[in-house]
Amino acid sequence: MSAKSRILGVLSGPVASRIRFSFPLGGTNITISSHTFQRVARAIRHDHIVVNVTTVLPPGVAAQYHDNTDTMDTQPVIGRGDEGLVLHECTHAFFDITRQPIDALHEEAAAYVVDALYFRMTGLSRPRWSGPPHAAAGNVADSLLQDYQRGATAVPTVNATAWANLMSGIRSHRVYRAGPAGTGGSYIHNGVR
């Protein structure tokens, strides 16, 4: 199975279809849901986003999305860990496709919550994804999963304290502190070709 097919399967699969949450930004709430992943799947299916399998990525990076070229670089997608990291990058792709006005810090936080929810929902053990900022995203995911179980709202909002801790962890993380997520900037959101 090609990486593109595997990614499309994850985006259209039962776990991604259950991921749903909102987070506050500028007086409104931004929602991540199955529609997020369906939109990215359509773009990949129609070659508006190119999937490039490579083993040459920056240290500590398993996948990355380039909004300036509409390309997702990924290692071979083999297991749940890789699938969750691809969903993280697909979250970035969604914000690019929709030209969402969102700063890089909130975008990264949303992407980390997506992968943490995927890891938790597929039973991937925490030691495999417990480094920062994944651990902080796991706390946000745990709260959302409790909200899912209560069933009080169709799309729960992130726990404010856990969300703030996640954003603080991203802002100060060595990978992000000198870039847009650490300095208050935004990623390019120019849509797709």
Q: Token pair for residue 27? A: 């007086």
Q: Helix or strand or coil: residue 51? A: strand
pLDDT surpassing 90 at residue 193: no
- The whole-number average pLDDT for the span 110-114 is 98
pLDDT for residue 180? 97
φ/ψ (deg, to 5) at 22: -130, 160
DSSP symbols for 52-94: EE-S---TT-SEEEETTTTEEEE----SHHHHHHHHHHHHHHH
Instruction: Return the H-helix or E-strand segment holding 173.
Output: none
pLDDT surpassing 80 at residue 143: yes
pLDDT for residue 60? 75
Tell me the domain boundaries of the chain: 3-183
What's the predicted TM-score (pTM) here? Answer: 0.97
In whole angstroms, what is the distance from residue 192 CA to residue 65 CA? 12
Q: How confident is the model at residue 39 (pLDDT cuts 50, 70, 90)?
A: very high
